[in-house]
Structure 1
């Protein structure tokens, strides 16, 4: 069994933790670039009767 599963994590949580630790371990000049790539934005639009009602950005 995978270690992340034994720790009670799902794969997404495990990979997020690993990525965060890797970015912290980088040299300062490379860390800045990696932090920029780590940002993600998603847009969620609720639809009712085939028409968009509300849009949220996370």
Structure 2
């Protein structure tokens, strides 16, 4: 069993925590660029009868 699984985490949670810790450990001149890569956008679209309705943000 892997260490992250033994700790009760799934892979997504583990990788999110590891990425956050890595970004915080970077030198200040590299931290800003890494923080930009850490941002994500999720778009959710509700589908009714096989057609998309108005998208929510």
TM-score (norm 1): 0.90
Alignment of 1:12-51 (within 5 A): 12-51=12-51
Which residue is equivalent to 1:56? 56
Name structure 1 gaps, 5 residues minimum.
none
Aligned residues: 57
Name structure 2 gaps, 5 residues minimum.
none
Which residue is equivalent to 1:7? 7
> How many Å apart are 1:51 and its aligned residue?
2.0
* 1:5 aligned counterpart, secondary structure: helix
RMSD over aligned CA atoms reads: 0.9
